[in-house]
């Protein structure tokens, strides 16, 4: 492999000849051969947004000439378009401040900008620290990139997927209006419920999750940028924090503002932990919904069999004709991963000392993995399962009519204890509630038929 010589404050480094990165990236690449988890592309793209915004703010405040500002913006646009994805090779398991990824971005922008410098009419070479990182520190850029990436992932990926599933459930409610089925609590028979009511419970969970996730976005909109190394704003011009937040908002098309307390913004990761808590709650709701669906679809002959779901793949390599609820299983596995990530993020957010949290790369990786997996799983569950759910009305009616808990409607007429006797007698003798009630002479046939109306119990 051909190499070129780059240098940083520690000396010279050999860098692959065609690589856009420089010495500091190369040091990290060689020093942290840990795992296969790369810094998420969402973080790199968020860095490109903030670097472009920082250049615009520096220009507005008189610290950078217009041509250099435009040149940095051009390269950032190339990064946002995915043109240089192979230029960001660093792993998650690096310095806890994310300094090396910040410098990776700085070096790539400087190297690429210097390739374009002559045609852009920029006189002086761009330096990764002095030019691209002007008025910034890794300590305020990484948490800013984290908030930008988290906000975009939630607003543009996860919430749309959830809303699609909500729309599907609303349609299923309407289609199954008036279909009465047995309710179940503790995995035991309970009083009747309509299938549309059961579906509305699923829909309500997701609508609540949307509200909870949306409630986290104002906290994520507060940016650390402008705090520089320890929150004091050293080496950043006055007003830089507000100006750069305005430019980030314009570039993202979403409202961001500077965090009024930069010491909090650098030292604490409470906003991201709070947001992931809402993501975890959505995962818990999806776990519940997916489990309900696979229970209701269990069978086809020896399970509940009250609903049908799409048959997408063969379910066994040895049992011919077997089909499994695979979309439900994928959702539940993703939910488990998200719950594990929530534990990791909670621990990571509690760490760091004094002026800086130094667990940011793992927080970023776990947060974005949770959001990406959950969004994809919800979309897949919707398209490949939920849209095809249909009620097996005959099986629902059969299970409903055999439910002993229909006896509950007799409570006002014969009392709880007598109704319990009716249920126990019917179960022990394998008879109907009607036969048991008549045998015990608690009601006449006419009285029983008048008050025993399962369809009115919902």
Active site amino acids: 186, 316
- Cβ contacts of 424 within 8 Å, gap of 6 or more: none
Residue pair 37/92 in contact by the 8 Å Cβ criterion: yes
Beta strands in 93-216 (DSSP E): 180-185, 188-194
Dihedral of the CA atoms 166, 214, 378, 189 (nearest 10)? -60
Provide the b/e sequence for 162-181 (b: ≥16 CB within 10 Å). Answer: bebbbebbeebbeebeebbb
DSSP assignment of 235-299 equals: TS-TTHHHHHHHHHHHHHTS--EE-S-HHHHHH--HHHHHHHHHHHHHHHHHHHHHHHHHHHT--
Residue 125's Cα: distance from chain center in Å?
41
Strand pairing class (180-185; 222-223): unpaired
Rounded Cα gap, residues 211 and 65, in angstroms: 44
Rounded Cα gap, residues 425 and 437, in angstroms: 9
Alpha-carbon radius of gyration of the chain: 30
Provide the b/e sequence for 380-419 (b: ≥16 CB within 10 Å). Answer: bbbebbbbbbebbeebbbebbeebbbbbbbbeebbeeebb
CA dist 428 to 27, 182, 422, 424, Å?
A: 76, 20, 10, 6
Strand pairing class (180-185; 188-194): antiparallel
Rounded Cα gap, residues 456 and 458, in angstroms: 6
C-alpha atoms less than 13 angstroms from C-alpha of 322 in its C-beta half-sphere: 9
Which residue, 142, 128, 140, 152, is CA-closest to 75? 128
Indicate the length of the chain as a whole number.
458
Which residue, 92, 221, 53, is CA-closest to 150? 221
Angle between helices 41-60 and 240-252 (to 10 degrees): 130
Query: If residue 79 lies in a helix (H) or strand (E), which one and from where to where?
Result: helix 66-80
């Amino acid at each position: 492999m051909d190499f070129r010589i780059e240098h940083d404050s520690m000396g010279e480094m050999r860098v692959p000849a065609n690589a856009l990165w420089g010495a500091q990236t190369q040091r990290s690449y060689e020093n942290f051969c840990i795992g296969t988890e790369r810094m998420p592309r969402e973080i790199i793209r968020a860095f490109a947004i903030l670097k472009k915004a920082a250049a615009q703010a520096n220009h507005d405040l008189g610290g950078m000439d217009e041509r250099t500002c435009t040149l940095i913006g051009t390269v950032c646009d190339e990064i946002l378009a995915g043109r240089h994805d192979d230029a960001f090779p660093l792993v998650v398991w690096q310095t806890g401040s994310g300094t090396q990824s910040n410098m990776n971005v700085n070096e790539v922008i400087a190297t690429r900008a210097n390739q374009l410098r002559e045609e852009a009419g920029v006189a002086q070479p761009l330096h990764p620290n002095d030019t691209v990182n002007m008025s910034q520190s890794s300590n305020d850029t990484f948490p800013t990139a984290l908030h930008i990436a988290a906000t975009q992932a939630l607003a543009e990926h996860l919430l749309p997927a959830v809303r699609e599933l909500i729309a599907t459930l609303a349609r299923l409610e309407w289609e199954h209006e008036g279909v009465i089925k047995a309710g179940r609590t503790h995995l035991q028979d309970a009083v009747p419920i309509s299938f549309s009511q059961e579906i509305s419970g699923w829909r309500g969970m997701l609508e609540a999750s949307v509200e909870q996730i949306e409630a986290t976005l104002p906290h994520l909109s507060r940016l650390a940028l402008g705090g520089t190394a320890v929150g004091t704003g050293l080496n950043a011009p006055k007003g830089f924090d507000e100006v750069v937040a305005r430019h980030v908002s314009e570039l993202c098309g979403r409202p961001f503002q500077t965090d009024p307390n930069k010491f909090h913004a650098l030292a604490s990761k409470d906003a991201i932990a709070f947001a992931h808590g809402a993501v975890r709650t959505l995962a818990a709701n999806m776990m519940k919904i997916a489990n309900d669906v696979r229970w209701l679809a269990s069978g086809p002959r020896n399970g509940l069999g009250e609903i049908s779901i799409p048959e997408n793949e063969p379910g066994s390599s040895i049992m011919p004709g077997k089909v499994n609820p695979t979309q439900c299983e994928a959702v539940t596995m993703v939910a488990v991963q998200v719950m594990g990530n929530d534990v990791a993020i909670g621990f990571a957010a509690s760490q760091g000392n004094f002026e800086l949290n130094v667990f940011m790369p793992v927080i970023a990786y776990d947060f974005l993995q949770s959001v990406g997996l959950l969004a994809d799983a919800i979309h897949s569950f919707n398209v490949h399962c939920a849209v095809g759910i249909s009620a097996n009305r005959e099986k629902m009616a059969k299970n409903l009519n055999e439910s002993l808990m229909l006896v509950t409607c007799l409570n006002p007429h014969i009392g709880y204890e007598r109704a319990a006797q009716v249920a126990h007698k019917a179960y022990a003798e394998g008879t109907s509630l009607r036969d048991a009630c008549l045998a015990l002479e608690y009601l006449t046939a006419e009285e029983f038929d008048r008050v025993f109306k399962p369809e009115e119990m919902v």
